[in-house]
């Protein structure tokens, strides 16, 4: 019988895991199915470009999986039963169940309104493709002089504000951040960021906590109202709620607790990768939700699954960071070099060269999804007839280490 592997979600992590597994295991031994709600691969790191009106390349998942032997199932995941090892999906024909022997959970994350009143009703997100397209439509309707307020001073907020300001110089673009502008960056990085904001005419409302969102304005903690014809919300991500409902051990935020091989600590037949996984890196710090985390966790999981099925050697790779790449429009960028645990160091690359660097990183991330075999032997390995017995499921209190 074929060993049934189901991968849920086809973002950077899920698509990479499915492709890597398909290229590591023999087709006659395994049946690999990638389940995704839409037929295309979405370059999430380019959603701010899409929102600002830039056309993006069409990438059908079927093309990415062509020749691998992995199957694509276009359907929305509605439930996961880890006791029965079954996934419920819904497509145009209704609901059905898919049984698995090994599950790779990669449903990722979406936007997080942080419970701020009015955010869900009046703010717009760019965490997903649909949200980015809605922002694009709204921007096209705005007249010269109207204000766009980007809420959130993290990487996504910086990229969204600068991209919109560059694409629509006739608009009044502002960014509201709880802390100082780029306060986690090195002095050189912060200085360059302020220079670009000044050149693009972006108003930075620093140390500003947005407490309410209305149709035409946002309200701050100190009672100030900032007019806003379009509010773009970039205050972080929230994981897909299905994980918490599965019975898997999760953190308070709903991320699945895994070991160093991306295997669930409570259900050994389940692996979690990308934003959905609670992964610790150097210094026992949780890895942040990002493409930079998603792809290496996918490779780690795929290699671990293949090793356990074929009797190979388990990977022992510590996932670490090297830099934070920020696009500041199409002509400017910022590459902030960091320690292994993601703390800024003095070195930073800025300007046009940094923009080209970031573009190469984006292209490389998409290339890695289509070519997930870096460092792999070309020969697929056979699955052992009697796979080693899985360790007994364990449970422990759900905790999340503070960053």
Top pLDDT among 277 and 386 is at 277
Task: Tell if the pTM clears 0.85, that is, is over it.
Answer: yes
Helix (H, G, I), strand (E, B) or coil at 59: coil
* CA-closest candidate to residue 186, choices 339, 77, 386, 32: 339
The third-level CATH classification (topology) of the domain covering 115-233 is FAD/NAD(P)-binding domain (3.50.50)
Per-residue pLDDT, 316: 84
In which residue are the tokens 């509201």 written? 176
The tokens describing 178, both together, are: 């709880």
C-alpha 36 chain-centroid distance:
15
- Residue 403: pLDDT band (50, 70, 90) is very low
User: In which element (H, E) is residue 167 found?
Assistant: helix 155-167
Same topology, domains 1-112+236-319+375-403 and 115-233? Answer is yes
Per-residue pLDDT, 376: 58
pLDDT tens per residue, range 312-326:
999 888 889 999 999
The tokens describing 126, both together, are: 């760019």
pLDDT tens per residue, range 362-396:
998 888 888 876 655 555 677 875 444 343 333 33
Q: 367-397 burial string, b = 16+ CB within 10 Å, else e?
A: ebbeebeeeeeeebbebeeeeeeeeeeeeee
CA distance 374 to 340: 21
pLDDT tens per residue, range 25-41:
999 999 999 999 999 99
| Class (C level, CATH) for 1-112+236-319+375-403 | alpha beta
Ramachandran sector of residue 284 (left: φ over 0; alpha: ψ -120 to 50; beta: rest):
left
The tokens describing 56, both together, are: 């993006």
Q: Are 47 and 135 contacting, i.e. CB atoms less than 8 angstroms apart?
A: no
Average pLDDT over residues 268-282: 94
Per-residue pLDDT, 375: 58
Backbone dihedral angles phi then psi of residue 401, each to the nearest 5 degrees: -70, 135
Average pLDDT over residues 244-273: 95
Query: Percent of the chain scored above 70 by pLDDT?
Result: 93
Domain ranges (residues) in the chain: 1-112+236-319+375-403, 115-233
Q: Are 103 and 85 contacting, i.e. CB atoms less than 8 angstroms apart?
A: yes
Per-residue pLDDT, 282: 87
pLDDT tens per residue, range 234-243:
999 999 889 9
């Amino acid at each position: 019988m074929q060993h049934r592997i189901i991968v849920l979600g086809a973002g950077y992590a899920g698509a990479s895991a499915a492709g890597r597994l398909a290229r590591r295991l023999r087709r006659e031994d395994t049946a690999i199915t990638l389940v995704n709600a839409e037929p295309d691969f979405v370059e999430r790191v380019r959603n701010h470009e899409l929102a600002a009106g830039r056309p993006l390349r069409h990438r059908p998942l079927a093309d990415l999986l062509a020749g691998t032997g992995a199957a694509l199932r276009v359907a929305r995941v509605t439930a996961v039963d880890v006791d029965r090892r079954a996934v419920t999906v819904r497509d145009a024909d209704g609901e059905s169940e898919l049984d698995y022997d090994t599950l790779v959970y990669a449903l990722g994350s979406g936007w997080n309104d942080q419970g701020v009143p009015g955010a869900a009703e009046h703010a717009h997100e760019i965490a997903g493709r649909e949200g980015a397209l809605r922002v694009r439509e709204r921007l096209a309707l705005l007249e010269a002089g109207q204000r766009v307020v980007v809420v959130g001073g993290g990487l996504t907020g910086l990229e969204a504000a600068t991209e919109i300001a560059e694409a629509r110089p006739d608009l009044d673009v502002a960014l509201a951040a709880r802390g100082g502008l780029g306060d986690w960056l090195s002095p050189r990085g912060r200085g360059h960021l302020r220079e670009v904001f000044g050149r693009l005419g972006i108003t930075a409302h620093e140390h500003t906590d947005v407490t309410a969102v209305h149709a035409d304005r946002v309200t701050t903690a100190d009672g100030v109202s900032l007019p806003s014809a379009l509010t773009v919300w970039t205050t972080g991500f929230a994981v897909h709620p299905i994980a918490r409902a599965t019975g898997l051990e999760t953190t308070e935020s709903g991320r699945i607790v895994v070991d160093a091989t991306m295997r669930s600590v409570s259900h050994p037949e389940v692996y979690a990768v990308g934003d959905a996984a609670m992964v610790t890196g150097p210094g026992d710090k949780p890895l942040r939700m990002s493409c930079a985390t998603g792809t290496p966790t996918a490779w780690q999981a795929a290699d671990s699954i293949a090793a356990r099925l074929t009797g190979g050697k388990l990977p022992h790779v510590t996932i670490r960071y090297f830099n934070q790449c920020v696009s500041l429009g199409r002509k400017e960028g910022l590459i902030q070099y960091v320690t292994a645990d993601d703390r800024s160091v003095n070195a930073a690359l800025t300007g046009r060269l940094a923009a080209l660097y970031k573009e190469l990183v984006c292209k490389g991330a998409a290339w890695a999804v289509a070519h997930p075999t870096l460092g792999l032997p070309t020969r697929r390995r056979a699955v052992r007839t009697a796979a080693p017995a899985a360790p007994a499921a364990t449970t422990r209190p759900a905790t999340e280490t503070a960053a």
